[in-house]
Amino acid sequence: MFFDVESLSSQEIYRFLVGGVTPRPIAWISTLSKNGVANIAPYSFFNVASCSPPVLWFSQVNPMEGGDKNTLANILETKECVIHVVNEKLLEKMNLSCASLPASQSEFEFADIEYCMSHSVKPLSVKEAPVRYECNLREVLRISSLPSGGSVVLMNVSHIYIDDSILEGMKINQGKLDSVGKMGADFYSLTTSLLEMPRP
């Protein structure tokens, strides 16, 4: 069946996009507000934009009530964040951090997330995250300010932390990484089975 997007509601379009574009990597992004509140939230519209220079991007889908979510608002104010890779061990706490909390309340406290100080930026780091990228703001591309519209955020990577237990030489062991992907609705995918296929 074909659907003309002009005939669909924004929620119907959203469900068709997130239900089909799967699995999506998850950026668990920590920021610090100008008032010193430690925020962390997951974003599954996320990937690598460039390796030289190293740039990551994530996209905010605008809330129905308009405006920016806490993550983007904080990044615009402080220009910094830490992007964490989520594994199965962290999945439940990551899911708890999806809660719609006021900007004055920390998801680190709400979800009881163990943290440590970051190396080069002020936002906190998730202590048990297998990989984390410390970043500074490069650019924000405003695609639409409408509810369910989007803003693409480009972040320069300044430092990379990789847990020693998954590092083999200068490569990340994909089996040990145990990263989690986002599917449609409330579903997640686990990397419990990997298929290696050399490129031609």
pLDDT confidence of residue 29? 98
Distance CA 63, CA 149 (A): 8
- pLDDT beyond 90 at 81: yes
Q: What is the pLDDT of residues 126-175, one digit of tens each?
A: 999 999 999 999 999 999 998 899 999 999 999 999 999 999 999 999 99
What dihedral angle (degrees, nearest 10) is formed by the CA atoms of 72, 77, 82, 86? -20
Q: How far is CA 168 from CA 148, 177, 181, in A?
A: 41, 11, 23
pLDDT confidence of residue 65? 82
First to last CA, the chain: 35
Would you state the structure tokens that stand for residue 185, as one six-digit string?
A: 């609705």
- 2-36 per-residue burial string, b: 16 or more CB within 10 A, e: under 16: eeeeeeeeeeeeeeeebeeeebbbbbbbbbbbeee
What dihedral angle (degrees, nearest 10) is formed by the CA atoms of 181, 183, 185, 190? -50
DSSP-derived pairing of the beta strands 38-43 and 27-32 = antiparallel
Helix/strand/coil for 158: strand
Helix/strand/coil for 13: helix
pLDDT confidence of residue 8? 96
Q: How does the average pLDDT of the chain come out, rounded?
A: 96
Q: How far is CA 47 from CA 3, 63, 110, 111, in A?
A: 27, 21, 27, 25
**Contact of 157 with 48, CB cutoff 8 Å:** no
Q: What percent of the chain has pLDDT above 70?
A: 100
User: How much is the pTM?
Assistant: 0.96
Domains, in order of start, for the chain: 5-190 (2.30.110.10)
pLDDT confidence of residue 111? 97
Distance CA 128, CA 114 (A): 7
Helix/strand/coil for 57: strand
Distance CA 53, CA 189 (A): 30
Q: What is the pLDDT of residues 26-73, one digit of tens each?
A: 999 999 999 999 999 999 999 999 999 999 999 999 988 878 999 999
pLDDT confidence of residue 64? 83
The residue with tokens 């390796």 is: 51
pLDDT confidence of residue 67? 85
Nearest by Cα to 71 from 86, 84, 60: 60
